Structure 1
Amino acid sequence: MSKHPNIVSVEQLMEQVGGSDLYPQLILQLQKDLNRAGIDYEINKNSTFKELFLDIEQLLLEKINNAFNDFLNLLYAVDVSEREIRNCDSEESVAVGRYATYLILKREWQKIYYRNIL
């Protein structure tokens, strides 16, 4: 991920989101988009950002390996392009899942952040 200069690191994203009053809205937005993508998954509303990241990473890994259309539907619902996913440096499903988790949470954070500052 670090070879792309315009991308904040996962740690930076954790700092921005985890300490924000907008974090509960991020969870609600992500839950809404999971539902829109037809993915039956309930997010723990009390999870820290790190726990959320790990939970979504596991969910995506399962979808990549067993229900790829669900994975693509989620990317569409969140508004993450397949082109962005192709920027991943690896073809291993674990690395793709981690990178996709990062992109999804970053995009959800952008939606919440811009909605609240404008």
Structure 2
Amino acid sequence: MSNQLPQTFEDLITKAENLELYSKLIQQINKDFLLANIDLDFEHNILPSSLKYLLHDVIFKLIQEKFADYLNLLYIIDVSEEKIKQLDGSDTLKLSENVTFLVLQREWQKVWFRNKYS
């Protein structure tokens, strides 16, 4: 299996479930949000659609209301600054949706590498 990054949310979830890493993905997200002092703790059996919705909601609110916390979160998760700069920031809702996917993509990468090389 290649380490090609999933390009869609559905693709990411399918890969996570096929490799039985979905709960590890949730653990990683919870861990990084805790490190960033953001009050968010997903259940390990949360539906992917709920995960996407809630994560998007939190990131949208961070961009709107707590920008420093938002930047800190991106730093802790280690989302590529280059990828963030490529996004269109004029529409906050669309921006937060794209950032949500970049967050999930990066968290998936961590979980996938840890699984592959442990």
Q: Is the TM value for this pair above 0.5?
A: yes
Quick check: 44-53 or 29-38, which moved more? 44-53
CA RMSD of aligned residues (A): 1.7
Where do 4+ consecutive residues of structure 1 move more than 3 Å? none
Aligned counterpart, 1:91: 90
Aligned counterpart, 2:24: 25
| TM-score normalised per structure 2 | 0.86
Aligned counterpart, 1:108: 107
Quick check: 52-61 or 80-89, which moved more? 80-89
Aligned residues: 113
In the alignment, is the contact (CA less than 8 A) between 1:22 and 1:112 conserved in 2?
A: yes
Note closer, same or farther for the CA distance 1:29–1:7 as it changes in structure 2 (3 Å cut).
closer
Please tell me whether residue 40 in structure 1 is matched to residue 72 in structure 2.
no
| TM-score normalised per structure 1 | 0.86
Give how far 1:90 is off. Answer: 4.8
Quick check: 64-73 or 89-98, which moved more? 89-98
Matching of residues 67-82 of structure 1 within 5 Å = 67-82=66-81
In the alignment, is the contact (CA less than 8 A) between 2:60 and 2:96 conserved in 1?
A: yes
Q: Unaligned regions of 5+ residues in structure 1, if any? A: 1-5
In the alignment, is the contact (CA less than 8 A) between 1:18 and 1:48 conserved in 2?
A: no
Give how far 1:37 is off. Answer: 0.8
In the alignment, is the contact (CA less than 8 A) between 1:79 and 1:107 conserved in 2?
A: yes
Give how far 1:13 is off. Answer: 1.6
* Letter paired with 1:110: Q
Quick check: 85-94 or 22-31, which moved more? 85-94
Write out per-residue CA displacement over residues 36-63 of structure 1, whole angstroms, 9 at most, x where no aligned residue.
1111122132212221111100000010
